Amino acid sequence: MRSVAVIAALLTATLLGGCGIFGEPKDETVGWSPNKLYTTAKEALNDGQYDNAVKYFEKLEARYPYGRYAQQAQVEIAYAYWKSGEPGSALAACDRFIKLHPNHPNVDYVYYLKGLIGFNEDLGILGHVSAQDPTERDPKSAKESFDAFKELATRFPDSKYTPDAVLRMKYLVNALASHEVHVARYYMKRGGYLAAVNRAQYAVKTYQDAPAIEEALFIMVKGYDALGMTDLRDDSERVMRQNFPKSEYYARGLNRKEPWWKLW
């Protein structure tokens, strides 16, 4: 019996030595320096092990909340969250860093990253063109992305990230304008002429240089005509013929043959 008790005690000691309380695995990072935590997290990030990178960065910030490693971890963790498919956490990390370190040398990158998080990179002129029209998606993330890029371009015009941000802003303006026109077209085809005109008019006033404005003006012409508002119809047509004298919409109407991004 005494031998059995000794063996049981040895097994218990072995298990406790490899586990924490309630059987949790022992934390291998206990006693690690901030440099080792950061290096390990960065290696995981570079290897595409984003969940592990997040774990190490969180431990680094929790144990060593002050100093350059903690600040850099706050930047890196936002990127790791984004790449691991957690855009909400990534945006929260960006906002937190901007609030805590508004004058940090890398804050321009954080604004750029915040813009990228809401930007769908696999569509339009900046990537592979898919069969789905991006204007049919919820524009909320596009607006947030545009605001972040605009803040970057305004506050840091000389940043190395600003030229790309400006290109993406131009794309987003076109996408947001086309979203309004897509909704206007939807109302138009269902007889909601007043709603169609209002959405088209908003697009014209807000996104004056976007390619989608051509169709927005045409919707205004057709919508006002259907409503019997001849004066407003004539005004809209005059503006349209002045800006788009050879518009295809006079011949083919609202039945588009190509997605909007293929028209410019």
Residues 6 or more apart whose Cβ sits within 8 Å of residue 214? 240, 243, 244, 247, 249
What are the start-end ranges of the H helices in the chain? 2-18, 34-46, 50-63, 68-83, 87-100, 107-117, 140-155, 162-189, 193-206, 213-227, 230-243, 249-252
Amino acid (one-letter) located at 16: L
174 in Cβ contact with 261 (< 8 Å): yes
The predicted pLDDT at position 23 comes to 52
The owner of tokens 């789905």 is 132
Give the distance, in angstroms, between the CA of residue 135 and the centroid of all CA atoms in the same chain.
Answer: 15
- Enumerate the domain spans of the chain: 30-94
Report pLDDT digits (tens) over 83-125.
998 999 999 999 999 999 999 999 999 999 999 998 865 443 3
- What is the rounded average pLDDT of the residues 78-87? 92
Which segment of 41-45, 119-123, 203-207, 222-226 scores lowest on mean pLDDT?
Answer: 119-123
Provide φ and ψ at 100, rounded to 5°: -80, -30
The predicted pLDDT at position 66 comes to 84
77 in Cβ contact with 93 (< 8 Å): yes
Amino acid (one-letter) located at 231: D
- Provide the whole-model pTM: 0.71
Amino acid (one-letter) located at 251: A
CATH says 30-94 is which class? mainly alpha
Encoding tokens for residue 209? 């240089």
User: Which one has a higher pLDDT value, 68 or 259?
Assistant: 68
185 in Cβ contact with 176 (< 8 Å): no
What are the CA-CA distances from residue 261 to residues 151, 195, 228 (Å)? 25, 24, 32
